[in-house]
Structure 1
Amino acid sequence: MKALGIAATGMMAQQTNVDVISNNIANANTTGYKSTRAAFTDLIYENMTREGATTSEAGTTRPTGIDIGLGVRTAGTVRLNTQGGLIQTENQLDVSIDGRGYFAVNTPDGQQAYTRDGSFRLSPEGQIVNAQGFEIDPGIVLPDNTVSVDISETGIISAFVENEAVPVEVGQLTLTTFVNDAGMRPIGNNLLEATAASGDPVPALPGDPGVGIIRQGYLEGSNVDIIRQITDLIVAQRAYEMNSKAIETADQMMSSANQIK
Structure 2
Amino acid sequence: MFRGLYTATSGMLAHNRKQQILTNNLANANTPGFKQDQTVLRAFPDQLIHAMESGKFASNGGRMPGSSTPIGQLNTGVYSQEGIPSFSQGPLKETGNSTDLSLMDELLPENPQSQQKGSLVFAAESDSGQIRYTKNGQFSVGEDGLLKTSDGNSVLNQNMEPIRVDSTNFTVAENGQVTLQNGGSAGGLWIGYTENPEQFVKEGHGLLRWEGTPQTAPQSIEDVPLLNNTNSFVKQGFLEQSNVDLTQTMTEMMATYRGFETNQKVLQAYDRSMEKAANEIGRV
TM bracket (short chain): 0.7 to 0.9
SS in 1 for 2:170: strand
Inter-CA distance 197–5: structure 2 relative to 1 (3 Å threshold): farther
SS in 1 for 2:273: helix
Give the structure 2 partner of residue 200 of structure 1.
Answer: 217
5+ residue gaps, structure 2, are: 57-63, 106-118
Partner Cα separation in structure 2 for residue 147 and residue 106 of structure 1? 20
SS in 2 for 1:102: strand
Inter-CA distance 16–254: structure 2 relative to 1 (3 Å threshold): same
The partner residue of 1:94 within 100, 120, 138 is: 100
Matching of residues 173-192 of structure 1 within 5 Å: 173-192=189-208
Look up the equivalent residue of 2:233 and give its one-letter code. Answer: I
Larger Rg: 2
Contact 1:101 1:212 in 2 (8 A): no
- Show CA shifts across 1:129-158 (max 9, x none): 212222112232125xx6721111111111
5+ residue gaps, structure 1, are: 162-166
Give the structure 2 partner of residue 154 of structure 1.
Answer: 175
Partner Cα separation in structure 2 for residue 223 and residue 142 of structure 1? 30
Give the structure 2 partner of residue 241 of structure 1.
Answer: 261
Inter-CA distance 246–212: structure 2 relative to 1 (3 Å threshold): farther
Identity %: 25
Look up the equivalent residue of 1:254 and give its one-letter code. Answer: M
Matching of residues 57-76 of structure 1 within 5 Å: 65-76=71-82
Structure (1/2) with the larger helix percentage: 2
Q: CA deviation at 1:197?
A: 6.8
Partner Cα separation in structure 2 for residue 106 and residue 82 of structure 1? 24
Q: CA deviation at 1:159?
A: 1.3
Inter-CA distance 147–24: structure 2 relative to 1 (3 Å threshold): closer
The RMSD of aligned alpha carbons is: 2.8
Contact 2:50 2:68 in 1 (8 A): no
Matching of residues 1-261 of structure 1 within 5 Å: 1=1, 2-49=3-50, 65-99=71-105, 100-138=119-157, 139-142=162-165, 148-161=169-182, 167-196=183-212, 199-205=216-222, 208=227, 213-258=233-278, 259-260=280-281, 261=284
Look up the equivalent residue of 1:22 and give its one-letter code. Answer: T
Partner Cα separation in structure 2 for residue 114 and residue 142 of structure 1? 20
Partner Cα separation in structure 1 for residue 168 and residue 26 of structure 2? 39
Look up the equivalent residue of 1:132 and give its one-letter code. Answer: D
Inter-CA distance 248–211: structure 2 relative to 1 (3 Å threshold): farther
Length, aligned pairs only = 248
Q: CA deviation at 1:122?
A: 1.4
Contact 1:25 1:226 in 2 (8 A): yes
Give the structure 1 partner of residue 60 of structure 2.
Answer: none
Inter-CA distance 224–173: structure 2 relative to 1 (3 Å threshold): same
Contact 2:5 2:270 in 1 (8 A): yes
Contact 1:127 1:140 in 2 (8 A): yes
Q: CA deviation at 1:218?
A: 0.5
Inter-CA distance 149–202: structure 2 relative to 1 (3 Å threshold): same
Look up the equivalent residue of 1:90 and give its one-letter code. Answer: G
Partner Cα separation in structure 2 for residue 201 and residue 151 of structure 1? 21
Contact 1:37 1:79 in 2 (8 A): yes
Partner Cα separation in structure 2 for residue 211 and residue 45 of structure 1? 52
Partner Cα separation in structure 2 for residue 246 and residue 183 of structure 1? 38
Look up the equivalent residue of 2:190 and give its one-letter code. Answer: T
Give the structure 2 partner of residue 164 of structure 1.
Answer: none
TM-score, normalised relative to structure 1: 0.85
